[in-house]
A and B are shown apart, each in its own frame.
Chain A
């Protein structure tokens, strides 16, 4: 007996060193990859803040509130960009909210499972359309065929309204999918309770299911708005005002958003040298854009999680 037990030593419960080393090595590699994602955020914030601050210090404050956005002439009217962004986002939401919510409610509450299986992937295709293609759709179809018909030809070839509609189309799938998830997260028991009281489908949908999913719906709208604010290419192609733009409240005139202004500062003939205020203004707008979308996304994210925790 003693010979038996003596042979049980602690060393016999050690793993082959090569296997233990391989395990440790992979663990280190995986954690390094995870930490790298933190580095990306830190770098984004660092690069934005550094030059944005430089710009803010150097720019004559009067130039931040002027007749328009003409960075190469030293005129950095922020309100032009903010209004442009608000107009594009507002018009986009006029399109995307009714369509996106309609799609979501129909797919979640009315469509037969078979219909849903066919239609949902098609809506997902809509989400995959590259924004440059929608930008071209805005100038080649939306503006000549829809906007012109709407305002009888007082619109310019490149204008904010057409860009806004195209951004709206881009936003439909986000609003549809986030709010459909929210609606489907509402427990069946709630619907059954409503039907059990003799409610019809429409009353059940709008009086029971929709209110129960409201935080998810709000999240969908917020994430949609954030997506619309961040959209660059549609506006860069369709809203005109490539080099700069006058302050304008008319959606049928060319306009400039924060994102399109950044793109214009970055490419081709308007490419500005690696220093100077115009170049630094790129970082300043980038910083504003980053903060705005970050706040919206965090609120949206929080609401989405709330829905998940509730049910």
Chain B
């Protein structure tokens, strides 16, 4: 898939150098994949989340945890500009993607979403064949040749650990897959357009424990190639899969009596769950809250 590769991403070539940087100089001033400063999101007059300052590093899994309504999904949806789809939504502050202002007028949200894929809470395969689910994205990007598409479909399904289960029924409807398979199909669908980042919005909340475990294993597999940000309600999941964790909570606004999400703490997952520096984080991770 030479065209796609060249059209898609300059990242591939520098993967190795990047990884070295990650391990040896993780805390240096490298340009992060995402950097937010003073990020606030409004729905109409309602401020959903405020003052989010985050640096999301490449080739890591970052988890967003916190009680419901704390704005973690809202922040996630800033990274692929899904919030654009809600007419009343408004973003303040800055979101930088590899140093580029994501909300710059010259940036096209559609191209952002190709580079920053998203896996949703409920598996949402298209009501079409497994093959067509995978081929949709590459086709949009101008890949029409059948053998190239076949190759992308196969490699994406393999990377999503789904190939062996579906290789004999690629033309069957994706709706016939189990929930866990559907979710892995959605991950494969993301991978097929060779994104840089994969956002996961509570990807396992609709799945049983076995399917959840498979998705978690898969995340570990693919984190070599992709930056992953996962929103989860499940603290154990965050502790299991992520390298870094951001804890959000809600604050009641005294004037309007409405809740606004705030970022409490963002650190290495290990530290967050063993010796958090904020007492609210401690209360949450020890289960005394939310």
Residues of A near any B CB (own CB < 8 A) = 1, 3-5, 7-16, 19-20, 23
Contacts and interface: CB of A to CB of B under 8 A. Distances in A.
A19 B31 contact: no
Given A10-B106, A10-B107, A13-B97, 19 more contacts: A1-B18, A1-B31, A3-B14, A4-B11, A5-B30, A5-B31, A7-B10, A7-B14, A8-B98, A8-B100, A10-B101, A12-B10, A13-B111, A14-B108, A14-B111, A15-B110, A15-B111, A20-B110, A23-B110
Contacts of A13: 97, 100, 102, 106-108, 111-112, 115
17 contacts: A1-B18, A1-B30, A3-B14, A4-B10, A4-B18, A7-B14, A8-B10, A8-B98, A9-B100, A10-B106, A12-B111, A13-B112, A13-B115, A14-B106, A14-B107, A14-B108, A16-B142
Interface in B6-24: 10-11, 14, 17-18, 21
Contacts of B10: 4, 7-8, 12
A23 B14 CA distance: 33
A199 B122 CA distance: 42
A7 B102 CA distance: 16
For chain B, give the interface size range: 20 to 34
Interface of B: 10-11, 14, 17-18, 21, 30-31, 97-102, 104, 106-108, 110-112, 115, 140-142
Central interface residue in A4, A5, A7, A19, by most chain B CB within 10 Å = A4
Given A1-B21, A14-B111, A19 B140 contact: yes
B21 A8 contact: no
A13 B99 CA distance: 12
A8 to B, nearest CB: 4
A262 B99 CA distance: 70
Contacts of B142: 16
A9 B10 CA distance: 10
A265 B121 CA distance: 63
A207 to B, nearest CB: 40
Nearest to B116: A13
Contact of A15 (B30, B98, B108): B108
Contacts of A1: 17-18, 21, 30-31
Nearest to A12: B10
A302 B100 CA distance: 49
B56 to A, nearest CB: 14
A245 B21 CA distance: 96
A13 B10 CA distance: 12
